Structure 1
Amino acid sequence: MGIQGELLMEQAALDEATRHELEELKYRYLRGIDTKDWDLVADTLCQDVVGEWSGGALHYEGRAAVIGFFTEAMGRESFLSAHRVTHPELERTGERTATGIWALTDQLVDLQWQFLLQGACFYHDEYRIDPDGRWRISRTGYQRTFEHVTPLADLPGWRLTASGWENDGRSSLV
């Protein structure tokens, strides 16, 4: 392998500390979404972040626009979500940049509109070290591999027994 090939391999290599930072960044981002902690979500995003979901149907530019979308779409206490990512494929693309692909599964319960949504997708993220020295998400989005919606009325016996916004998240089963 020549010098150029070695430089490309070195650039693509991701040390364990950086890998850990990027994994925790993604986990904080999703925890913030699921707990509706919009300040936490905002802190994971670059000021000029681009967010694009649903195959490009939803497109937002800038931290304020992305947070505005989240609060409008998922800010109600009657909108419950669980996002889980696995199988990170992380790659350094430059001294201060990296990319990531994540397998996501999610479940959303909308008590106002009475539906359960379940789905899967692959998130494609870009990361950058901001001037404060912290990794942040500079671009994020996904395209669904599948999604299905079930009206809660079609799920006999379905009932919500715990919510993070009622009874401090305690289950009514105990």
Structure 2
Amino acid sequence: MDDITQISQLKYRYLRALDTKQWEEFEECFVAGATGDYNGLVFDDRTALVGYMRKHMVEGMITLHQAHHPEIDVDGDTATGRWYLQDKVIVEAFKFMLEGAAFYEDRYVRTPEGWRIEHTGYRRTYEATYDLNDLPGLKIHGPGLHVHA
């Protein structure tokens, strides 16, 4: 498998593990000293980043993160990537929904275990929030989900 394909699969694994709350697999996407900057929400290492996500992305929170249109440049054992993000967050307990878009800017490093994220982060292009009470016909169903506004 070529480097760009491996890096793409790493990014997809990162997104899937985040949305399915598979925190050990999510953590494995990063090197120990990885940093993050999500539109000003900054993390100095992998432990802080993963710990924050684990604490704040709790059961009952529905998330969808899709990254596409990758622009990946490989230079030996390092690489950079730009991805277009579309995301949605639904928190029924707070009658809240967010959707938005952003551009990820990532740095990757090749390790003995394969490519890992050295830095990730994004800058928003837009963010829209909704009060679920304003969407009276909204119904969301899925395994273990029943959201009714």
* TM-score over 0.5 for the pair: yes
Which structure: greater helix fraction? 1
3-state SS of paired residue (1:157): coil
Which residue number corresponds to residue 140 of structure 1?
120
Which residue number corresponds to residue 18 of structure 1?
3
3-state SS of paired residue (1:32): helix
1:105-138 CA distance string (max 9 Å, x none): 01110112111100000000000012x2410000
* Aligned counterparts, 1:1-174, within 5 A: 17-54=2-39, 56=40, 58-74=41-57, 76-92=58-74, 94-130=75-111, 132-163=112-143, 166=144
Amino acid at match of 2:89: L
What's the % identity of the aligned pairs? 36
Count residues in correspondence: 146
Deviation for aligned residue 1:156? 1.4
Which structure: greater strand fraction? 2
3-state SS of paired residue (1:21): helix
**Distance in 2 (alpha carbons) for counterparts of 1:41 and 1:110:** 21
The runs of at least 4 consecutive aligned structure 1 residues that moved more than 3 Å come to none
3-state SS of paired residue (1:160): strand
3-state SS of paired residue (2:138): coil
1:57-98 CA distance string (max 9 Å, x none): x11111111101111221x11111011111000001x32100
**Distance in 1 (alpha carbons) for counterparts of 2:35 and 2:93:** 29
Unpaired runs of 5+ in structure 2?
none
Amino acid at match of 2:92: L
Unpaired runs of 5+ in structure 1?
1-15
**Distance in 2 (alpha carbons) for counterparts of 1:90 and 1:160:** 35
**Distance in 1 (alpha carbons) for counterparts of 2:110 and 2:24:** 19
TM-score between the two structures when normalised by the length of structure 1: 0.80
User: Which structure has the bigger radius of gyration?
Assistant: 1
Question: RMSD between aligned alpha carbons?
Answer: 1.4
Deviation for aligned residue 1:159? 2.2
**Distance in 2 (alpha carbons) for counterparts of 1:61 and 1:105:** 25
**Distance in 2 (alpha carbons) for counterparts of 1:42 and 1:81:** 18
Amino acid at match of 2:108: Y
